[in-house]
Structure 1
Amino acid sequence: MIDNLLVLAVLDSAQSGGSDSTPWFFSNEVVGATIGALLAAALTFVITRRATSNAVTQDNVLLSARLKEVEAELGLRDTELTEANTRITELAAVQDHYGHVRELLGKSIVVQEFEQPVLLLGPRFVGKSSLLAQWHAPWDRGPLAATRSHRRASVPVYDFRRPDAVPHFADPDVRTAVDVHLKLRVHDFPGELSAQASAIETARAETAELREKTGRNLGVVLVCMFDAAEAGTELREETVRYYNGDLFASIRTLVSHRDVDIQRLVIVFNKFDVLLAKRPGEPVEALLELCVESFSKTLQPLYGACNPERVCETVTVLDRDNLLRSQGATVVFGEVARGIVDAMSGSGAADRLMGEQRATTYMSRNF
């Protein structure tokens, strides 16, 4: 509106012809100055308006570009979110499955087996195979041939459940109950001297394996068998040569180097019924003392190889033809198994396993 008034004033001044009565502010100089100022202001306004418009346009372009970037980022986030939700669903399914597996593992029972190595030693025809048959297959009443090669047999001894749960082998975070099966791994060697090298190597290997599996300082059980009928008489040459062979001297050396441990030494006087028949009327205790005295020198190579409290002896009658006449095999079995049962169960199970019948310890005074 101001611009319009100024224009009207200029026109009015021009129509009046510029008489002296015209006001000073309508003079040509003033009008010119005013018009210049107005033109300058208009030009400034136009330039400013255009510059502002360009800036706004540029801002709009930048904002549009940023908006597109944000939309692209949001689209990427939506894709990632969808993938994440899918992954979460998959992991939830895995978690449910794993939880179910852990529950089943917790309810399962781990079975551990430990075998006590037992070496049956003695010359031919002293009853080693008969003793093994009484333990391993007492129902088999067939005839037994002399052992011609190294034979092995596994004999169950005692089963129990450990009082403490242990980490499951499939997942250490899951603790589960453990059923322990104790067995005898019995080695029956031929009575010839040529088989003694195999017995020595077996004693060494079995000691190492038993230590590794149990984590305890256990060893092999030696069952030395004699023919009780030789007691009180001159021993057979086969008996003397067998017990003076390399076997027992080598075992003693291996024991001194800690390569072999003797968990128990059980001395068995078999065919005791024959000795009773040869000496009728003599007390059983006296005949047992006679056996100890007769065979003690034969075992000299083993003196000092184990502690005296690990040495015991008993008598047996291993009759394959008449099962009712067989005696003593269970006593030997109990003495052989005592060490591993005591070591692994620790609950007095060995005493319950052996019952009231026990071996004597007369021979231990020599060790």
Structure 2
Amino acid sequence: MARLAGWLLALLLVLGGGAAAHAELTRFPAPQPGTAGGPGEGGVLVIYSSTDLEFIRPLIEGFQALNTDVEVHYHLLPSLELYNRVLDEVQEQGRTADVLLSAAMDLQMKLANDGYASALTPPRGLPEWAVWRREVFGFTHEPAVIAYNRDGVPPQDVPGTREELRRLLETQPERYRGKVATYDPELSGVGFLFASQDARRSPVFWKLVDRLGAAGVRLYGNSVEMLDALAAGEVLIAYNVLGSYARAHAERLPQIGIALPRDYTLVMSRLVLIPKAAVRPDLARRFVDFLLGADGQRIVAGAAHLYAILPQIEGELTAKALRAQLGPALLPIPVNPGLLLYLDQDKRRRFLQQWERTLDDTPPPPGR
């Protein structure tokens, strides 16, 4: 059977983060249907995506401004549901969506690795680590950050590294007990990605997990719920939260502060691919060319708040700005088969067992 089984099926309804449990369709009518306003003959472009509509809308509108005769159907799905829908549709109908956008780097890589993706030529300047076999491409450059509540965390307490966060929780257990948050790696695909990367890169990661357990860490399945709790003061520090969502919240809510870890800052890329079974591969190529090109990347860094990946794009929310600020501490997660490691059920189960053991085995503070 083509569909992923076991843990993947068990998490079908929850892995998508902020997206709804079932597909939500938003139609973007062609600005000038039936005209020669676009470079082609028009039609309908179908996109399956795990990215919330508020972030992707500016990109669709920017694409349609250059392709005025193209209607876009945007289906918002949890990342695992997106993956399984594609497999089912290809098997049952021989066709599926024209473009797939997902923050689940591992599942996008698996589709490409299993032969479901078409090849196309990426634009010049796209980093080599963000391209695999000319079939799957990173189009964002989003850091994992430490977000905090400015009203509840004094400046001297703001952690700048994982070791500083560990020490803060160890030396001020009462102040921060029940006030620290991170993703639940059993429920969040992005959370699992960040945690598993931390385990491979940080010598203090499991010591930090131990301190998180002692602090009564609150675990969340998606970014929005965690940041809403942070803004309300229900938690004071959120570890490894997706930087794009944190920035969008911080622009509306001045009590939210953001710290980029100085020991290293992980960078996740949302991945785009065109299925071989796309109904309109011509429109799909035009959309991906726009998304990865300078015009689309300027929107990624601007109205979309998703951090541009092209190194020549200027602005605060860009790979260039992050590199200038962090230098070698900036660590992008490469688009390669290494992402498939934890799709192995045994490896994933062992990692989650160690996570739960480390959280649960922490002795409570004295007097509790």
- TM-score (normalizing by structure 2): 0.30
TM-score (norm 1): 0.30
Structure with bigger gyration radius: 1
